[in-house]
Amino acid sequence: MKMSQGAAPSKSNQETLRLHIREIKERHKLPSPPALMTKVLNILKDPNFNVRELSRVISDDPSLASKTLSMSRSPRYAQRFQPQSVHEAILVLGLQSLRSIVVTSAAESFLARKNKISEKLWSHSLGAALAARMLANRVGFADTEMAFLAGLLHDVGEMVLFNSDPRGFEQLVEETQKTQELILRREAQRYGFDHAAVGVALLDFWNIEEEVNEAVLIHHKGSENPAGSLASIIDMADYLCAHAELGFFSECPNPGVAMIRASGCEDEESLTQSIQELRDAFTEESSLFQAA
């Protein structure tokens, strides 16, 4: 069975999805989850964890410690006193935001190869994460940090395909941009699976929550996804990224009229404002990450 057009993993085809994930794992060498990310996420899952232990793990990694501190001092968390230690920074950020920083940092290090494609993939991932957080607030999706995570990781399958075949994937991107063909179709032809399917296999391996995985699998289904759902938030984030030129697109995504309206982007003026808001957030956040 081909999942490349993004069939939703309902209970009845969960078994097929498992088989499909196994097949991808056999075919593509999937990178292990970054050790530090696993460590922090495991601590956060433990109902009896203590902040001191968490601070120690983060402080042991200078790059992550510096990102955590910089983020806690950013205008988003406007404080009268600037946090002076990782421990204070965690208290300011809260655990959900801390988790987003840890996963963002892991995703960034995953794209170690520096070239045109990896830079675009990175700016697209961060842009989609920020757009998804902003949209979650607008459409009343309660878990805004889950939306951030889903946006950040929705195209992680492209990172896997690119890392395993840099030249071939670059060529594929160039070709689809020339012909304006859907990248999904070309990926499935060349690699057996498209980036949504490969991404889900990776997220399953990395133990990311099921709700994010399901949304990633169907993020190219457009208006078939109900407005306000996590998948529609990702699609709309893609739409804003295409307008803000964050990433590479062979065609502009179409999240459907209902989602565009629910996101407050139905006319030229409101769309322009939203694009500007996204660009401002991107400039601020990407400088925090580069600074570390």
Question: Site residues (CB under 5 A) for Fe ion?
Answer: 155, 238
The helix (H) or strand (E) run that includes residue 52 is helix 51-59
- Chain position carrying tokens 């300011």: 92
Pick 145 or 155: Cβ nearer Fe ion: 155
Give min distance, CB of 157 to Fe ion, in A: 8
Pick 204 or 238: Cβ nearer Fe ion: 238
| Cβ–Cβ under 8 Å, residues 204 and 21 | yes
C-alpha distances in Å from residue 219, one per residue of 104, 198, 239, 253, 255? 19, 13, 11, 10, 9
- Joined tokens for residue 49: 């964890």
Give min distance, CB of 216 to Fe ion, in A: 8
Pick 155 or 204: Cβ nearer Fe ion: 155
DSSP for 228-287 reads TSHHHHHHHHHHHHHHHT-S--SS-----HHHHHHTT--SHHHHHHHHHHHHHHHHHHHH
Pick 89 or 108: Cβ nearer Fe ion: 108
- Chain position carrying tokens 């840099």: 166
Give min distance, CB of 234 to Fe ion, in A: 7
Give min distance, CB of 74 to Fe ion, in A: 25
CA atoms within 13 A on the CB side of 178: 6
C-alpha closest to that of 107 among 142, 43, 150: 150
Rounded CA-CA distance 185/194 in Å is 7
Give min distance, CB of 140 to Fe ion, in A: 23
Pick 92 or 129: Cβ nearer Fe ion: 129
Phi/psi at 32 (nearest 5 deg)? -65, 155
Pick 85 or 254: Cβ nearer Fe ion: 254
Give min distance, CB of 243 to Fe ion, in A: 13
